[in-house]
Structure 1
Amino acid sequence: MISRRDLTYGLAGLAAAGALPRGGAAAAEAVTAVDSHAHVFRRGLPLADARRYAPDYDATPEDYLAVLDANGMSQGVLVQPSFLGTDNGYMLEALKRHPGRFRGIAVVRPEISRDELQALAAAGVVGIRLNLVGAPDPAFSAGPWPGFLKNLADLGWQVEVQAEARRWPVLLDPLLQAGVTVVADHFGKPDPKLGVDDPGFRHLLAAGAGGRVRVKLSGSYRNGDGLPAAAIPLLRRHLGLERLVWGSDWPHTQFETATDYRRVRAELDTWLPDPAERRIVLSDAPRALFWPMRG
């Protein structure tokens, strides 16, 4: 369910800026500003057996499109929520209905066939997500992981990882060796007590020099106060702005009353006050990552 606060504040801000976009196929094809991390779901969908949380409200694709339009965003990336497990059906329906507006990141089992992956790719999926919070490290060297990762690399897909930063030394190297691009959710999730001094976050920075690591500037409220101000200068120095993308984390699950879309979007203006730099993070970098065939 769309937040009245999200919609009202977003419309007011755009009215002042004269930037409210119009819908339609032509507008959808122009990638001008991408929200790289959002979730859609509704009540009544089958839930995963293993889950930490499930919301009691709807966040439909149409709700999300209204928020995107109200905040001047041309496209969004739908990330399969972990509480829906590997049933990507609701997200796939959204991709089918709005192919010019959305790309998808799916959750799948490593046993999935190459043909099934190719069908997901045809629907607009461009990568898979590993949400490892509360889960063990995958045994990437054991079957079926090597074949699975090869299929992902052959498709040119990304592997999006949500995990505590302390785990990056174990997780990151085998994924990069498999030839996939790795996208770190929510600033790489350093320990709030350690911040940018978390050794795992430092490992992520060092690996970023190789060119196949991306970091989402998202979920600042999940990482403790003050992290972005300290992390972004380091991320831009080690990875470059062209490997950073912004995400709203809409509808801010478990933090619905603590923030809203207007507020998280405004954070980026504070972090990167130069419009040319923001354009790299909002348009150039996500267009290359999520719409690589569209120029």
Structure 2
Amino acid sequence: MPDGAVDVHAHVMTGPAPGVDGAAYAPFEAPAEEFLVHLDELGLARGVIVNPSVYGGDHRVLVDALRAHPDRLRGVAVIGADIDDATLAVLHEAGVRACRVQDRFAGGASVTELPALLDRVGALGWHVEIWTDPREHLDLLRDAARRGRIVLDHLGLIPAPAPGDPDQAVPVLRELLAAGDCWVTLSGAYRLSPGEPEAVAARALRERVEAVLSAAPDRVVWGSDWPYVAPPTVPTPADHRAVLDTWLPDPDQRRQVLVDNAARLYRWAD
């Protein structure tokens, strides 16, 4: 891996702590120390932790991890637009540089809060990460990209196409990337091709990845999605290397995505 490479999508949890009512899963043991081992196994220098939906707005585990490893970790919070200034300042001081909205599980801020959140966190230099199928909120996302910085998780969360079919995500992602300050995370291949091994899923998504890289090579980052909540198979370090070889075979482009873009997005120079 190039020096300074970043995994921009992971979660940390500390056992079966009380979760959010109606959450899609129960918290399990995935401490920050194990995430650092994962980074080391892949030869990655840094990582970004997203507060899991099962914790809702409880950021204690996230903040503890960020404070314990300030040189290696940044964070993504789950907040509402009504968050008070003091709490926002604590999160920023700890190393949080973004917040997330989603419309799939209990415990997260709603996608409909996106405009208000962009106004709330923009002064801090944060962006908003979005966990949704963009086809369901296209007008909202288009306007948001003109208003602030947004990041579409997991290549837009649109399922991978069947063999021989066109990828329906390609025109949607191109439109949003052209609309404004929109970024895309290359991650979650196993989520988009259920039942397929990570490397096979990555090949099925190659057209989508190439379209995103062609449209906005300076607004693409990569994440592993560690520790893989309810995957059909658990990706290994070798699986991730195979995905990166499929999606980012060119060393210069790999460095841009894994190092330069990620450092700029999560403001490692701050």
Structure 1 length as normaliser, TM-score? Answer: 0.79
Is the alpha carbon distance of 1:148 and 1:182 closer, same or farther for their aligned partners in structure 2, counting shifts above 3 Å? closer
Give the structure 2 partner of residue 233 of structure 1. Answer: 210
Structural mapping, 1:1-295, within 5 Å: 32-55=4-27, 57-134=28-105, 138-140=111-113, 147-177=116-146, 179-193=147-161, 197-198=167-168, 202-224=171-193, 225=201, 226-239=203-216, 241-255=217-231, 257-294=233-270
Identity of aligned residues (%): 35
Runs (5+) with no aligned partner, structure 1? 1-18, 20-29
RMSD of the alignment, in Å?
Answer: 2.4
Q: Which amino acid aligns with 1:69?
A: D
Please list the CA deviations of residues 67-107 of structure 1 after superposition, one character each: whole Å capped at 9, or x if unmatched.
11122100000011111111011010000100001000011
Mapped partners of 2:78, 2:36: distance in 1? 22
Mapped partners of 2:180, 2:116: distance in 1? 23
Stretches of 4+ moved more than 3 A in 1? 134-140, 145-148, 191-197
Is the alpha carbon distance of 1:275 and 1:76 closer, same or farther for their aligned partners in structure 2, counting shifts above 3 Å? same
Mapped partners of 1:230, 1:185: distance in 2? 17
Q: Which amino acid aligns with 1:229?
A: R
Is the alpha carbon distance of 1:183 and 1:196 closer, same or farther for their aligned partners in structure 2, counting shifts above 3 Å? farther
Q: What is the CA-CA distance between 1:292 and the residue it aligns to?
A: 4.9
Give the structure 2 partner of residue 8 of structure 1. Answer: none
SS in 2 for 1:263: helix
Computing the radius of gyration from Cα coordinates, the structure with the larger value is: 1
SS in 2 for 1:121: helix
SS in 2 for 1:209: helix
SS in 2 for 1:267: helix
8 Å contact from structure 1 (residues 158, 183) kept in 2:
yes
Is the alpha carbon distance of 1:253 and 1:102 closer, same or farther for their aligned partners in structure 2, counting shifts above 3 Å? same
8 Å contact from structure 1 (residues 190, 196) kept in 2:
no
Mapped partners of 1:58, 1:204: distance in 2? 35
What number of residue pairs does the alignment pair up?
Answer: 258
